[in-house]
Amino acid sequence: MLRRIYDWCVASADKPYALWVLGAVSFAESSFFPVPPDIMLLPMSLARPKRAWLFATLCTITSVAGGMLGYAIGAVLYDSVGHWLISLYGLGDKVEAFRAGYAEWGALIILLKGLTPIPYKLVTITSGFAGYNIWLFVLCSIIARGGRFFAVAVLLNRYGDTIRAEIEKRLGLWVAVLALVLVLGFVVAFRMI
**Taking the CA of residue 18 as centre, how many other CA atoms within 13 Å lie in the half-sphere pointing to its CB?**
22
Mean of pLDDT values over 25-35: 86
State residue 6's pLDDT score. Answer: 64
> What does each C-alpha distance from 29 to 164, 169, 171 come to in angstroms?
25, 29, 23
Of the segments 54-63, 84-93, 98-107, 167-176, which one has the largest average pLDDT value? Answer: 54-63
- The predicted model scores a pTM of 0.77
Name the residue among 138, 167, 137 with its Cα closest to residue 152: 167
Residue 25 has pLDDT above 70, yes or no: yes
88 — pLDDT class (breaks 50, 70, 90): confident
Mean of pLDDT values over 137-160: 90
Alpha carbon 163 to its chain centroid, in Å, reads 21
1 — pLDDT class (breaks 50, 70, 90): low
Q: Are 156 and 52 in contact (CB under 8 A)?
A: yes
60 — pLDDT class (breaks 50, 70, 90): very high
Overall domain count for the chain: 1
Can you give the residue range of the structural domain that contains 185? 2-192
State residue 109's pLDDT score. Answer: 81
CA dihedral 139, 144, 148, 150 (to 10 degrees): 30
Residue 77 has pLDDT above 80, yes or no: yes
Of the segments 137-141, 150-154, 179-183, 188-192, which one has the largest average pLDDT value? Answer: 137-141
38 — pLDDT class (breaks 50, 70, 90): confident
Name the residue among 72, 153, 136, 146 with its Cα closest to residue 114: 146
